[in-house]
Amino acid sequence: MLHSKPVVLTQCRHIMGPISSHFSSAHGVSFAQALPALRKKIGNLPFSPSESDYGVAGNTFRAYKGWSKPPSEVYRLWAKPICAQLDPPSLARQLGSQKGFDVWHKSLADSLQQHWVKTQGGALSFAHQHKLVDLFVKWLSTHNFDCKPLSASFISHANCALDSQTLKKLNECLSMALPLSNPSMGDIHSQHTYAFCQNLIDHFATHHNGTRLLFDYFAWRRGCG
């Protein structure tokens, strides 16, 4: 869970000094200038999930190898009933705080893993599991549920999907302070790595009046993975 954030950031400051001293000013300006357009991506599309890819295209699933059934099919079988049962006002109340979002996020990750094990006979890696969950949440955030508090909660509390693009952009925003020459989703080995990266993104984003989710929209470009 992301409750480790204060400890992680305190450790960063102790080791490296204020983390903001590593921020790239050029990337900070670029992110801040992009924020109005990025916010317009939230809550914009009509919600019609029938026959949807639920935010994960086929190129992403190329990294999900060695399974007995097509990973895209298994993922969609998990996402479809969640969307069918979605109650926007109730979900907005649940996600009104970071703690509430974290509980929901964990429930999504746990249910996806259970579904995967039952369907595929094996567990997803931590990186693959959380990449799918965060892409699903990002996909939900693009839709208009006629519930502004829900969209606001996604903006405030959702995580950034961690992959080669977002990790590379994070390193650029930190003036290449991370010793990663070719970052990838596979570098997210555990909850500790995941939380650390989310915390770094959060610190950069909030410093420039943004959020982790908006950083995801800023960092990721279709066809550049």
pLDDT in tens, 89-126: 999 999 999 999 999 999 999 999 999 999 999 999 99
Q: Transcribe 97-156 into DSSP letters.
A: SHHHHHHHHHHHHHHHHHHHHHHHSSPPPHHHHHHHHHHHHHHHHTEE-S-HHHHHHHHH
The answer to whether residue 224 scores a pLDDT higher than 90 is no
Q: If you search the block for the tokens 């989703």, which residue do you land on?
A: 185
143-144 vs 45-46, strand pairing mode: parallel
Backbone angles phi, psi at 112, to 5 degrees: -65, -45
pTM, full prediction: 0.89
Would you state the pLDDT for residue 222? 67
Amino acid in position 98: Q
The answer to whether residue 27 scores a pLDDT higher than 60 is yes
Nearest to 101, CA basis, from 152, 40, 36, 163:
152
